[in-house]
Chains A and B, each alone.
Chain A
Amino acid sequence: MTTEGSLSPETVLAEMKKNGITHVVWLPDSETNWLYLLMKAEPSITLVAVPREGLAYSAAAGIYIGGGTPVILIQNTGMMESGDSMRGWAMGLNIPVVIMVGYRGYTRHGVNKDTAATYTEPFLNAFRIQYYLVENSSDAPRISVAFEEAKKTKRPVAILVGDEYHGFNR
């Protein structure tokens, strides 16, 4: 169930399945609430809930080295707090992992009033993490681009989710 111009959680899940995701390492936020219900019902995916975003990178590293295909699902606030884990466990161990980041505060209309959004892209640039903005379902093919790039470069690549999944705020 989607509205025009929104990002459908079904589309996001389809992108995950298309790219062979086995484990979703995540910490909930308002952007991913509706996606949670779909992921929970998907038998091919194991959900690994972590209590702090930094743990997502090390868990994903273990999953990848063990032969799985993880994706990380966190919010920009937690991503910024977990910079050293991203450095050491993801970049440091050459882990090809896509980080789907809820872009709290993002708006293309008017003035940004949330510093979480203000610092998100500068943070990624500081760590030299390539990123793609996904605002609606027509942007969804960028998710596969990110997976391909992560695999090719053996580095993390970020997807900035610039729209809530229309569950929490539907």
Chain B
Amino acid sequence: MIVMEEMLKVFQQHRGDAIVVSGRANRHWDGISTLKNRDLSLGDPAMGGHASFALGLALAQPNKKVVLFDSEGDLQMSLGVLATIAEQKPKNFYHFLLDNEVYATTGGQPVPNAKTIAYDAIAKGCGYPAAYAYTNLESFSVNVGRIMSGTGPVFVAMKIVPEIENVPIGQRAPRLRRTKEQSIADLRKELGVSN
């Protein structure tokens, strides 16, 4: 199992100027990232949509690398998106899956078939040209530079230590330091987008 914060610190060294859709990694990524105007933290607009959102962003910005920190509960809701991504073949898309095996924000209940499902195999089967799986930080650290300097689409599944939240939603510390509206506005300004 990999500690999310430690993984993100390693990733940061290889980020370059990529756009990062931080998903549920945002709780740590916000304190690690050094290019906040290229981070997109949206909270949880509706579960199951992060991968297709990041795909859309990658298609609209084909000359910028787009990194997604996805989660396995989100992806299980929309596994078919892997076929859509593979069909579109966005060379600038880097799909990192944080698999903690549970619905961490609802108290830690296991996702379906949490222990034996192989997300990298599913991605490969859907047509991703490259898919990897890591269960320890050392292996990830050795390979992440090569992955980020290569072309996408690439899928990287990681087993992550769960950080379970089990207090009422209204009593939790805010996850977003910028509102989602501000995060979107900052990115669009950074990209020079004004449609």
A residues in contact (CB < 8 Å) with B: 22-23, 25, 46, 48-52, 54-70, 84-85, 87-89, 92-94
Closest Cβ neighbor of A56 among chain B residues: B52
Which B residues between 148 and 195 are near A, CB-CB below 8 angstroms?
A: 180-181, 184, 187-188, 191, 193, 195
**Contacts A23-B60, A68-B195, A88-B46 hold; do A62 and B184 have CB atoms under 8 A apart?**
no
Collect the chain A residues with CB atoms within 8 Å of residue B121's CB: none
Which B residues between 35 and 57 are near A, CB-CB below 8 angstroms?
A: 40, 42, 44-46, 48-50, 52-57
User: Are B88 and A93 interface neighbours, CB within 8 A?
Assistant: no
Main secondary structure of the interface of B (DSSP, over half): helix
The segment out of B78-86, B103-111, B137-145 that lies at the interface is B78-86
Minimal beta-carbon separation of A151 from chain B (angstroms): 9
| A89→B47 CA distance, assembly (Å) | 10
Decide if B18 is an interface residue (CB 8 Å cutoff).
no
Minimal beta-carbon separation of B26 from chain A (angstroms): 16
Number of residues on chain B facing chain A (CB within 8 A): 33
Interface string of B70-112 (1 = CB under 8 A from A): 0000000010110110011000000000000000000000000
User: Are B53 and A59 interface neighbours, CB within 8 A?
Assistant: yes
Decide if B122 is an interface residue (CB 8 Å cutoff).
no
User: Are B181 and A94 interface neighbours, CB within 8 A?
Assistant: yes
**Contacts A23-B60, A52-B78, A67-B60 hold; do A62 and B46 have CB atoms under 8 A apart?**
no
Closest Cβ neighbor of A69 among chain B residues: B195
User: Are B60 and A51 interface neighbours, CB within 8 A?
Assistant: no
B residues in contact (CB < 8 Å) with A: 40, 42, 44-46, 48-50, 52-61, 78, 80-81, 83-84, 87-88, 180-181, 184, 187-188, 191, 193, 195
User: Are A93 and B42 interface neighbours, CB within 8 A?
Assistant: yes
Collect the chain A residues with CB atoms within 8 Å of residue B48's CB: 54-55, 58, 85
| A62→B90 CA distance, assembly (Å) | 14
User: Are B56 and A60 interface neighbours, CB within 8 A?
Assistant: yes
**Contacts A51-B80, A54-B78, A89-B53 hold; do A68 and B59 have CB atoms under 8 A apart?**
yes
| A54→B81 CA distance, assembly (Å) | 11
Contact of B191 among A56, A61, A66, A84 (CB under 8 A): A66
Number of A-B residue pairs at CB separation under 8 A: 120
User: Are B84 and A68 interface neighbours, CB within 8 A?
Assistant: no
| A66→B190 CA distance, assembly (Å) | 11
Collect the chain B residues with CB atoms within 8 Å of residue A51's CB: 80-81, 83-84
| A70→B139 CA distance, assembly (Å) | 39
Collect the chain A residues with CB atoms within 8 Å of residue B42's CB: 93
Minimal beta-carbon separation of A2 from chain B (angstroms): 31
Known: A59-B55, A85-B48. 13 other contacts (CB 8 A): A48-B84, A49-B87, A57-B46, A61-B49, A62-B56, A63-B56, A63-B57, A64-B56, A67-B61, A89-B49, A92-B45, A93-B42, A93-B184
Closest Cβ neighbor of A63 among chain B residues: B56
Collect the chain A residues with CB atoms within 8 Å of residue B60's CB: 22-23, 62-68
Most buried by A among B40, B46, B56, B80: B56
Minimal beta-carbon separation of A46 from chain B (angstroms): 7
Closest Cβ neighbor of B187 among chain A residues: A65
